[in-house]
Amino acid sequence: MDRKEVGLRIKALRKARGLSQSELARRMGYKDHSTLAKVETGVNDITIETLYRYAEELGVEASHILGEDSVAFDGDKTIYRLDGAMLPTFPVIYDCAIREISMSGRNLFFVFESDINKRESIKDTYPTAKSLKVRYRLNDEAKIMVAKGKELHPISLEELNKLCAKGLTYLYENVGYKDLILQLWCGSIVVVELPVTEVEYQWIQ
């Protein structure tokens, strides 16, 4: 990957985390923001050692900055593609409440609570984010199940929305090849199996 693309990724990650150029430059030990500005515009190249320092400050793997984990940027959106040999690592959104769930065509949308930055999993890495919208591009039917006793039983999207209204919390995900298993909580375990091609995160400031 060329240095211009690396710079664009550093800029996108910095903005997603609500950091100014001056703040990230300070954390990197630069005298002022001009060096960072040159990195973000591709004027300056960076060493492997500096790459790892950026990754640490931005809370991602170095491969994320290098574009080796099927991640793309589109304005304020980050798109994770699950059709490559290397699977992406998604941002941490554990223990966050889901406010709304909707379906449009092959796309399933989760919209998270409006004060998401109060959560421990968010406030350190995305401190200015007020909410988050996640789009799952499906290549097959989503499978939704809820625990009843010791067994999992299928439910509909409408029933999932009813659970959402009661208070649905995102616990964690397991990522496989073109597959994503989400585990949610609403008084009992909710499992959502998503055969997906890509996942899009949009942090709402």
Residue range of the domain that includes 113: 96-204
pLDDT at 145: 96
Model pLDDT for residues 99-129, shown as the tens digit of each residue = 999 999 999 999 999 999 899 888 877 888 8
Strands (E) in the chain, as ranges, are 71-74, 77-81, 96-104, 107-112, 131-138, 143-148, 151-154, 168-176, 179-185, 189-194, 196-204
pLDDT at 28: 93
CB 152 within 8 A of CB 145: yes
Model pLDDT for residues 133-145, shown as the tens digit of each residue = 999 999 999 999 9
For residue 105, give the nearest of 72, 134, 141, 131 by alpha carbon.
141
Same domain (yes/no): 166, 113: yes
- Whether the predicted pLDDT of 85 surpasses 80: no
Residue 38: which H helix or E strand, with range? Answer: helix 34-40
Q: What percent of the chain has pLDDT over 70?
A: 98
- Whether the predicted pLDDT of 183 surpasses 80: yes
Residue 135 placed within a domain: yes
User: How many domains, the chain?
Assistant: 2
pLDDT at 64: 77
Q: Which residues contact 114 (CB under 8 A, 6 or more apart)?
A: 99, 130, 131
Residue 141 placed within a domain: yes
Same domain (yes/no): 22, 108: no
Residue 159 placed within a domain: yes
For the domain that residue 189 is a member of, what is the CATH number?
A: 3.20.190
More reliable by pLDDT, 173 or 14: 173
- Whether the predicted pLDDT of 1 surpasses 70: no
- Whether the predicted pLDDT of 168 surpasses 90: yes
Residue 21 placed within a domain: yes
Three-state secondary structure call for residue 2: coil
CB 25 within 8 A of CB 36: yes
Model pLDDT for residues 30-74, shown as the tens digit of each residue = 999 999 999 999 999 999 999 999 988 888 788 778 876 677 777
Same domain (yes/no): 190, 102: yes
Residue 86 placed within a domain: no
Neighbouring CB atoms inside 10 A of 97's CB total 17
Amino acid at site 189: I
For the domain that residue 9 is a member of, what is the CATH number?
A: 1.10.260.40
pLDDT at 15: 80
Strands, sheet with 71-74, edge to edge from the N-terminal-most edge strand: 71-74, 77-81, 196-204, 131-138, 107-112, 96-104, 168-176, 179-185, 189-194, 143-148, 151-154
